[in-house]
Amino acid sequence: MFGRLVQRELVMAFRHGADTLAALLFFLIAGSLFPLAIGPSPEVLGKIAPGIVWVCALLAAILPLDRVFGADFEDGTLDQLLLSGMAPALITLAKATAHWLTTGLPLLLAAGPLAIMLRMPPAAVPVLLAGLLPGTLTLSILGTMGSAIVLGARRGGVLLPLLVLPLSVPVLIFGAAAADSTAQGLSARPELLLLGALLALALPLCSVAGGVSLRAAAEG
């Protein structure tokens, strides 16, 4: 059931290709605005490149979030999912998996080229990506939970970033710090381990919280 739901979401994301691509294009365009605004000096850009990549990835991952459950809530699919016998927490986890595969994974693939374009030292790029992997996974499950929480609220689309962005601050801090440590010749291991710990914490907690929110939304 879990696999079939993920597969169904992927088929739909593929058919709505434009929506899926929008987050990726946003990521690339937002990232390339910085050299235009700050100036092309390699020293300055290279220093702030990890921060730029992380902030842009965070904002791009939030872009498609309001549709994660929004469409299902409006067209009655959410009721059918809740009555399918699948635990609500698992529904949340499946949706987060699909969100990561359609948003997080493309961002991860595009982050390397963007970082090099921003003159990040090539040696630091693998660490940036190693941080983005657990980072984007955590953002997907956090965001999916947020999407479930704002269901049924008026102006949910505005509320969602206000809810998810503060929660993603730890991910941002450790993610950017990992890349910074490498640039200064230190080991990024502690930061990467902390990112892994955040993911391990977020996966069960956010799934359960999201599941409870889905039930509450159906009651509303």
Partner 1 sequence: MLAGETLAAMRAERLVFARVNLSVTPGEALLLRGPNGAGKSTLIRMLAGLLRPVMGRVLWDGSDIREDLGAHAGRVAMLGHQDAVKPALSVAGNLELFSQGGMEQVTAALVAMGLDRLTDLPGRLLSAGQKRRLALARLAVRHAGLWLLDEPTLGLDDASIQRLGLLLARHLTAGGMVVAATHVDLPLPSCRVLRLGS
Nearer CB in complex with partner 1: 148/183? 148
Q: Is 11 in the site for partner 1 (CB under 8 A)?
A: yes
Q: Is 189 in the site for partner 1 (CB under 8 A)?
A: no
Residues in CB range of 65: below 8 A, 6 or more apart? 99, 143, 144, 146, 147, 160, 164
From the CB of residue 202, how many other CB atoms can be counted at a distance below 10 Å?
A: 24
Structure tokens at 153: 């609220």
Structure tokens at 13: 């994301």
Nearer CB in complex with partner 1: 81/133? 81
Binding characters for partner 1, 147-186, by CB under 8 A (x = yes): ----------------------------------------
Q: Which stretch binds partner 1 (CB under 8 A): 12-20, 46-54, 172-180, 194-202?
A: 12-20
Residues in CB range of 147: below 8 A, 6 or more apart? 65, 66, 68, 69, 70, 95, 160, 210
Q: Is 82 in the site for partner 1 (CB under 8 A)?
A: yes
Which residues make up the interface to partner 1 (CB under 8 A)? 1, 4-5, 8, 11-12, 15-16, 74-77, 79-80, 82-85, 87, 215, 218-219
